[in-house]
A and B are shown apart, each in its own frame.
Chain A
Amino acid sequence: MKTILSHSSITQMPSGLRPVSLLLLLSLTGLAACSSPPPDQELQAAELSITNAEKARVADYASPELGEARNKLAAAKAAVNEGDMDDAKRLAEQARVNADLATAKAAAAKAAVVNTEMQDSTETLKTEMDRNQGGTL
């Protein structure tokens, strides 16, 4: 079992054993569903999303999500090292959406801060005006 599953055994296989080689191919195809090359695309996307989130000074507003994104990316890289590419891909995808969520949340939080400041200054003006009206006239 071990030898026929190893990669090199295919090339060493004599052509007379075609049914077996067919089986081996089948088995490799089956294994391919659960293991594949490192998910470079997903990892890069995750790193880009995290960089974008960091650029947007997300840490001030949505740090849990950004922290989660960094943890997931680290876990994805660890999974690559352990050869678990499916896990790595999933973790990279999770890292990416967490980073994107951090960016979106930070944008909303910043917008809310600006709006509140605007409302406050309007309120101040109105309060001052009311006080003036009550005071001098």
Chain B
Amino acid sequence: MNSFMLDDRKMLVTALAALLMVACSSAPRDPEAIGQLRRDLTELQSDPQLASKAPVAIADAEKAVVAAEKPQDDAEQEAQLIYIADRKVKIAHAQAEARKLEDQRTALGKERETARLDSRTEEADTAHQLARDLQQEIDDLNAKPTDRGLVVTLGDVLFDNASSTLKPGAQDKLSKLSAFLLKHQDRSIVIEGHTDSVGTENYNAALSQRRADSVASYLTGQGLTHERLTSSGKGEGFPVVGNETAAGRQQNRRVEVIIVGAMTRAQ
């Protein structure tokens, strides 16, 4: 009985051992896959931009890789540990990457805010600069703001006595005006000729009209379109000062250019 039991036992043990061998048979390890895992993890751990971003996930991955590196008797278990470790390394990598990107956002936000501010500042600067430029041009023209618009008064330096032909030097005086008008195409002008009270009223009216026309034709010669220009002779009816003195009469002999138009900001 006893010997039978022993034989039976031996047989059973052998059978069981065989069963276990089949169920959990050992296969050659996969050193390549394990080596690759370790390399991937080391790469992540030594990346200065990522290593500190996901400490928990990286520690988790490290644990999984260490487990996969331990020799296993069971091939399936070994494959499983490699599989899990591979995903954990990838999870750690993705988490670190996400965290890095989130951290960069602060800097990106600042950058965008700076750009927005710069853009606004520049916009304001541009507007100010335009206003300054316009004011400078108006100042250069010696134009005075009035109810009718900007008035440029050209003294009697443009014409010889009783003449409506522009003097050679007159063109210098008018060139600034024509440059301004060519630049600001949205503006039109009214040219008014005025005389002193010397001579008949009709003569003065005609002379002032001819002088206004002379200025107008000079300006059209510079490229201004006729539609923008209106010229009229006001004669002696609109003196700026009394005609009693020579100095007063000189002031009254003049051509006034009234600039009207859309751009009123600098007025």
Contacts and interface: CB of A to CB of B under 8 A. Distances in A.
Nearest to B114: A122
Interface residues of B, number: 41
B108 A132 contact: no
A129 B91 contact: no
Interface string A56-93: 00000000000000000000000000000010001001
B45 to A, nearest CB: 17
Chain B interface SS verdict (over half): helix
B218 interface: no
Nearest to A133: B122
Nearest to B90: A101
Nearest to B105: A115
A132 B122 contact: yes
B254 to A, nearest CB: 36
Contacts of B104: 115
Interface in B1-47: 5, 8-9, 12-13, 15-16, 19-20, 23-24
Given A111-B98, A111-B101, A115-B105, A126 B115 contact: yes
Given A33-B24, A104-B91, A132-B126, A27 B16 contact: yes
Given A33-B24, A94-B83, A97-B91, A20 B126 contact: no
A33 B126 CA distance: 81
Given A90-B80, A111-B101, A19 B5 contact: yes
B80 A137 contact: no
Range class of the A interface residue count: 35 or more
Contacts of A112: 101
A48 interface: no
Given A101-B87, A125-B115, A30 B94 contact: no
Interface string A97-115: 1101100110110111011
Contact of B76 (A31, A90, A97): A90
B118 interface: yes
B84 A30 contact: no
A119 interface: yes
B186 interface: no
B81 to A, nearest CB: 10
A34 B24 contact: yes
B20 A30 contact: yes
A9 interface: no
A26 interface: yes
A94 B108 CA distance: 37
A70 B185 CA distance: 71
Interface of B: 5, 8-9, 12-13, 15-16, 19-20, 23-24, 57, 76, 80, 83-84, 87-88, 90-91, 94-95, 97-98, 101-102, 104-105, 108-109, 111-112, 115-116, 118-119, 122-123, 126, 129-130
Question: A-B pairs with the 7 shortest C-beta distances?
Answer: A104-B94, A111-B101, A97-B87, A108-B98, A125-B115, A107-B98, A34-B23
25 contacts: A1-B15, A19-B9, A27-B12, A27-B16, A33-B23, A90-B76, A94-B83, A97-B88, A97-B91, A98-B87, A101-B87, A101-B90, A104-B90, A108-B95, A111-B97, A111-B105, A114-B105, A118-B108, A122-B111, A122-B112, A126-B115, A129-B119, A132-B119, A133-B122, A136-B130
Given A97-B84, A97-B88, A111-B102, 8 more contacts: A19-B5, A33-B24, A34-B20, A90-B80, A94-B87, A100-B91, A115-B108, A129-B118
Interface of A: 1, 19-20, 23, 26-27, 30-31, 33-34, 86, 90, 93-94, 97-98, 100-101, 104-105, 107-108, 110-112, 114-115, 118-119, 121-122, 125-126, 128-129, 132-133, 136-137
